[in-house]
A and B are shown apart, each in its own frame.
Chain A
Amino acid sequence: MSRIGVFICHCGENISRTVDVERVAAEVGKLPGVAFATDYKYMCSDPGQGLLKKAIREERLSHVVVAACSPRMHEKTFRKAVESAGLNPFLCEMANIREHCSWVHQDRKEATVKAIELVGMMVERVKKNRVLPTITVPVTKRALVIGGGIAGIQAALDIADAGYEVILVEREPSIGGHMAQLSETFPTLDCSQCIMTPKMVDVANHPRIRLYTYAEIERVEGYIGNFQVTVRRKARSVIEEKCTGCGVCMEKCPVKKIPNKFDQNLGMRPAIYVPFPQAVPNTPVIDRENCIKFKTGKCGVCRKVCGPGAVDYEQEDRLIVEPVGAIVVATGFDLYSIEEKPKGSPIKGYGEFGHGRIPDVIDGMTFERLASASGPTGGKILRPSDGREPKQIVFIQCVGSRAREKGISYCSKICCMYTAKHTMLYHHKVHDGQAYVFFMDARTPGKNYDEFWRRSIEEEEAVYIRGMVSRLYQKGDKIVVMGSDIAVGVQVEIEADMVVLATAVQPQKGADALAQKLGISYDKYNFYSEAHAKLRPVECATAGIYLAGACQGPKDIPDTVSQASAAAAKVIILFARDQLEREPIVARVREAGCVGCFYCKKVCPYGAVEEKEIRDRQGNLVKVVAYVNPGVCGGCGTCQATCPSKSVELDGYTDEQIVAMIEAL
């Protein structure tokens, strides 16, 4: 006969306000098998847990039901407490009388009756719980970092410095990401290249970092501690081991006028190229779409001039399988454009700003390339249309961001600060020019941030005008900006030479496809979701996968670096153990009943079902049955629902238990 203890929590007033907890305790105490029932104000608190442990010992309890909040919140807490009192933790179950009862009901009487039934069901279920031993799985102490921007670089360096091997995968030919494109960085105005390139070199030289550039994630299998990642190394057409980075191929390439994406298409590059001179690795890549050799079969100049013979036109994509224990996702961001979007897209463009057809209306990143010493203009701020220096320049904040009508309602977080920085860079470079900024709010939380913004106004003489711009149009060689100053309450018109739009930060294109490969969740904008917004901000809900940087949400460099180091710390914590303990809530196959149809294998999202041969003593094959690998099983129960012969069951959720719960009603 079981001796079940039931512990009912008031949750402060959250539960006791609507549910008569004392009555629940009294009623539940009468149920067969219940040896002890009590209530307490905060069951999860130290005295609450003490009460539970004491009762287990003194009342010699065999099972425990805690009626409180959702098991998502405190199941672990109570199972730990039960374990420390000497019971198997899986003999403890939770009845959710907060989210499922007190929070959703108003009538005290009815809610109390419902709470009694919820607890009664759990009592019946827990009676049939088995003692489950903890499952341990080995940990592969190598990490995969996806994305070679500042987030990926920082995470890779931190993990590698802790002594573990890291595989860093970058989609572009060079690491560096967006930070390598920036001119100077707020709030200290240090040159981005100067602080970025040494870190890039550190990555390249680190003995424990293996760098795959021009590569993408093809497939991810496995689970925490034991992932198998397939990386597609795209054909570079240049053999990295042979190339010395002399650059003769780029000089001799006859195709020279291809817009360089790194320079926001303002500068030109050849068909065999490195995106920027400080690229890591300094190995060129052939852009097969624009290369004459690949288009017509003629040319082949680069192979002829290459001394070490590194150019290889026949190179093909290679697939490499890497076993890793943890994954850091740091795929970064992309910028919104005001261009017209395809019909049916949830995101819209700005017709009122000319849909990107006015040549001197540029975005913030283009301004960064113009202001950068290594940019296409050598750091001179010039108009893309005629190369003149703009004397009246207008910056517009919140373009795309905080614009529900355009499909994005979040704040992009970095624009206020980088626009303030832009006005300063402009003032430093064009002394007789005037900068205007149209803004709705200036959001500058951060160390030395507000001071920086105020400096752009008070010392660098930018004129900030509170109010959104309604329309932009070309008039001669000027762009007329129609806005309003809401502090004065008048319409404002400026004939500008150049307009810079602080466009919204969006996730990298293809972020959703990668998330599906990884099995992590993402929000409606395709930003990756953290496990808990406050308390687990760098972990995914999927164990063993961590987030760093702007792929999770708009972030500036200091925040990105902090999060990358935090993600690295999480990986290091994981690697500090040789074996992982995991929840033993897994499916088990009743081999006698299994007919080997393997429907379960087809539906299993974790790939945990294997085929197992059963042989007699003579070694003759009797039948093939399903076997669930307990290390891989995620405990979702899909196999149980699918099995036509009812031969697979999830521990703690067996048919017998579910039926018992229904019968208790």
Chain B
Amino acid sequence: MSDWVEACAAGDIDEEDVMRFDHGGRTFAIYRSPDDDYFATDGLCTHEKVHLADGLVMDDIIECPKHNGRFNYKTGAARGAPVCVNLATYPVKVEAGKVLIQIG
């Protein structure tokens, strides 16, 4: 059974931004979209293991800070070179002002 884990307070992330969350020896990226929805993916770029939380969120895209590889953070889909492998995504919910992610 997967657990819901509290990642941060909803207000900790600005709109159209991303934040790093480490848990259980793993690292995740938590996103707040321009529409005020929350999403979560693996925290490291699938290209060269760089933290995506240092990257740029534009609409539904996260751009890696090292080589500008792009992913759709809502679906995890790789959106062109140099990233070729999709990101894993995780369910997210907001309860009582807290962002929870379901880690498998």
Instruction: Say whether A and B bind each other.
Output: no
> Which residues of chain A have a CB within 8 Å of any CB of chain B?
none
